[in-house]
A and B are shown apart, each in its own frame.
Chain A
Amino acid sequence: MTSTLEPLASTLSAAELAAVRADFPLLERTLRDGRPLVYLDSGATSQKPEVVLDAEQDFYTRRNAAVHRGAHQLAEEATHAFEDARARVAGFVGATPGELVWTSNATAAINLVAYAMSNATAGRGGQAARRFALAPGDEIVVTESEHHANLVPWQELAARTGATLRWIGVDDDGRLRTDELATVVTERTRVLAFTHASNVTGAVTPVEAFVARAREVGALTVLDACQSVPHLPVDLGALGVDFAAFSGHKMYGPTGVGALYGRRELLEAMPPVTTGGSMVEVVTMEATTYAPPPQRFEAGTQMVSQAVALGCAATYLSELGMPAVAAHERHLAGLLLGAVASVPGVRVIGPTDTRERLAAVSFVVDGVHAHDVGQVLDDAGVAVRVGHHCAQPLHRRFGVAATARASAGVYTTDDDVAAFREALAGVRAFFGLGGATTDGRPA
């Protein structure tokens, strides 16, 4: 099994990290009462480097025109910028440009696949699309770890087609029950949709085992790569998944743009979902033929400036080197886990070691609701996510309604984690619950 985390990869040097931080203007700002910002919510959305902000501005300032139409020079330049961004993002995740469809976000990407399957079930796409059609008796398998974006579209697809939804469980450490693949994924399974890395537990999925089992039974694989693409080296072609979705705004790019990866032969066989302009070949009053992918799935005016800026974000990360980014964040995962472990009355939901895990650490504070934890941390300038993180079933699995989550990004420092730790140590005391001194000993 090949590891997605290379323990021997060299991390970012202190100078490199300082340079990275200088690239992100927002990190300079202060909060209420002049407090510095300690941003530990990159799992929800990342901050943007100046080159990405400039790329979007530059597109509108110098190259804006309608893409894929018009014969004038400006239209050519805009089209080139748009397609160059596609090539950069595709290359960043080990795909070819023809395998990368722009979507408004990752949720839209997953829904695109689910609705294309619906359309195939309704007979659209002809014989070639039959492989996507579902019927009663067929099964769709997801996991208990999924973000709602990779669960609800499959519940809906099952409801529309009569297929049955099943799922792989999660163990007490927050890792997927890979042992259940053999029993839950069967000859009836047509789709296996799973996350590459949980946005709650941070656990990284052994994709190889999932893909191998799906291939044994002839099921399509759909990977939610939202949390992995910004934090780990990801080669979708090498992973061998059929489809993958990821978002731009979590990988230091803008909101409003995400991507669907699909193996070329699958995209070619798949019927369109959103129809209209830009995705057609020949239109008569009676019928229409469709453009080849990826354009077949890109109806209407696209998010051109965002796509261009996302291409720039992919280049930014490539230049830093994803092995170094991953090594830096693995170091931070260790620090975050250590910080949480050092405060009495705080418990991690997810793996407590750094093996195959991201620097996204969810936790509960005994006797204090996550919202209240977040408020006390916010008062110290520490921004974390609180709530169910769009993963209610996973929280139910652990018997909690909400958790707080500290998640790192490429710009996160040891000092950020130290500030987090100090604020966390004061939470229980604030609510009158046998607090702890700042060195972690019970007060």
Chain B
Amino acid sequence: MSSAMEQLYQQVILDHAKFPHGRGLPDGVGAVGVAAADHGTCAATSHQVNPTCGDEVTLHVDVDTSGGTPVVRGVAWEGQGCSISQASTSVLHDLVVGQDLATVDRLAASFRTMLQSQGAGLADEAEEEALGDAVAFAGVSRYAARVKCALLGWVALDDALILSGARTTEDA
């Protein structure tokens, strides 16, 4: 096995793919769109497909808007796809639950930058640190065809946050 392959399929990715976190949608949140927008809370579900391989993810986000900054209260998802897309969504769950939207956006931006680095990774160590398990996906950036797999869950999160009204497209 080449070292690039070992970089791609790091143990943490294989583990997340096998035992994904946050997987399983609660009853009644499978429908795409705004699920709730009560005072102090909002939620929505997004369905994303990677048309080249048919991978799918349906991701539900629950946001607490009662405080000064909205905070992601919960992420639940269901999907089928390759180990990269499934593991990435699992890691996303661990990273963003409990974080305020500004932090979520920063993490999403760092993750995207890392995946577009063509193997170089992130220059900023603090940024890398913040990504936690997600740094394991740096190896994916060498394989252009797999970058979309790693981003599938993140695209769904972004869309769900917009749908929920927790933030507008202009904020993103």
Residues of A within 8 A of B (CB): 32-33, 368-372, 375-376, 379, 386-388, 392, 395, 401-402, 430-432
Chain B interface, number of residues (Cβ within 8 angstroms): 21
Within 8 A of A (CB), among B1-36: 1-2, 4-5, 8-9, 14, 18
B48-56, B60-68, B129-137: which lies at the A interface? B48-56
Does B138 sit within 8 A of A, measured CB to CB? no
Known: A387-B53, A401-B53. 9 other contacts (CB 8 A): A370-B82, A371-B55, A371-B82, A376-B5, A386-B53, A392-B54, A401-B80, A402-B54, A430-B9
Shortest Cβ distance from B31 into chain A, in angstroms? 21
Q: When each residue 99-110 of chain B gets 1 if its CB lies under 8 Å from chain A and 0 otherwise, what string results?
A: 000000000000
B149 interface contact, C-beta 8 A: yes
Bound Cα distance from A39 to B83, whole angstroms:
24
Classify the secondary structure of B's interface with A.
mixed
Q: Choose among A33, A368, A395 the residue that contacts B2 (Cβ–Cβ < 8 A).
A: A33
- Check A388–B5 contact: CB distance below 8 A: no
- Complex CA–CA separation, A431 to B146 (angstroms): 17
Known: A372-B83, A430-B9. A32 touches B54 (CB 8 A): no
Contacts of B54 in A (CB 8 A): 387-388, 392, 395, 401-402
Q: A369-B82, A369-B83, A371-B149 are in contact. Are A432 and B53 (CB under 8 A)?
A: no
The residue from A32, A33, A368, A375 contacting B146, defined by CB atoms under 8 A apart: A375
Query: Separation in Å of the A293 CB from the closest CB of chain B?
Result: 35
CB-contact partner of A431 in B14, B81, B84, under 8 A: B14
For A401, list chain B residues within 8 Å (CB). Answer: 53-56, 80-81
Contact: A369 with B81, CB < 8 Å? Answer: yes
Across the interface, do A431 and B53 meet the contact criterion of CB distance under 8 Å? no
A370 touches B1 (CB 8 A): no
CA A369 to CA B55, docked complex, whole Å = 10
Q: State the total of A-B contacts with C-beta under 8 angstroms.
A: 55
Residues of A within 8 A of B8 (CB): 375
Task: Return the CB mask of B138-149 against A: 1 if under 8 Å, else 0.
Answer: 000001001001
Most buried by A among B14, B53, B84, B143: B53
> Could you list some 28 contacts between A and B, CB below 8 A?
A32-B4, A369-B81, A370-B82, A371-B55, A371-B82, A371-B84, A371-B146, A372-B9, A372-B82, A372-B84, A375-B5, A375-B8, A375-B146, A376-B5, A379-B5, A387-B53, A388-B53, A388-B54, A392-B54, A401-B53, A401-B54, A401-B80, A401-B81, A402-B53, A402-B55, A430-B1, A430-B9, A431-B14
| Residues 70-121 (chain B) with a chain A CB within 8 angstroms | 80-84
How far, in whole Å, are A368 and B83 apart by their CA atoms in the complex? 8
Q: Are B146 and A379 in contact, CB atoms less than 8 angstroms apart?
A: no
Q: List A contacts of B80 (CB < 8 A).
A: 401
Q: How far is the CA of A317 from the CA of B61 in the complex (A)?
A: 57
Find chain A residues with CB under 8 A from B1 CB. 379, 430
> In angstroms, how far is the closest chain B Cβ from the Cβ of A154?
20
Which residues of the partner chain A approach B56 to less than 8 Å between Cβ atoms?
401
Which residues of chain A are near B52, meaning CB under 8 Å?
A: 387
User: Among residues 145 to 172 in chain B, which have CB atoms less than 8 Å away from a CB atom of chain A?
Assistant: 146, 149
Considering the chains assembled together, what is the distance between the CA atoms of A388 and B9 in angstroms?
23
Whether A432 touches B143, Cβ cut-off 8 Å, given contacts A386-B53, A388-B54, A401-B80, is no
Distance in Å from the Cβ of B101 to the closest Cβ of chain A? 31
* Chain B CB within 10 A, most for which of A368, A371, A379, A402: A371
**A369 neighbours in B (Cβ, 8 Å):** 55, 81-83
Bound CA–CA A370/B52 (angstroms): 12
Q: How far is the CA of A368 from the CA of B53 in the complex (A)?
A: 14
**How far is B13's CA from A432's CA once the two chains are assembled, in angstroms?**
12
Q: How far is the CA of A432 from the CA of B83 in the complex (A)?
A: 12
A432 and B2 alpha carbons, distance in the complex (Å):
17
Least CB distance from B153 to A in Å reads 15
List the A side residues contacting B146 at CB < 8 Å: 371, 375
Determine the chain B residues whose CB is within 8 A of the CB of A386 once the complex forms.
53
A383 to chain B, nearest CB (A): 12
Q: How far is the CA of A42 from the CA of B55 in the complex (A)?
A: 24
Nearest residue in A to B52 (C-beta to C-beta)? A387
Give A261 Cβ to nearest chain B Cβ, in Å. 30
In the assembled complex, the Cα of A156 lies from the Cα of B53 at a distance in Å of: 23
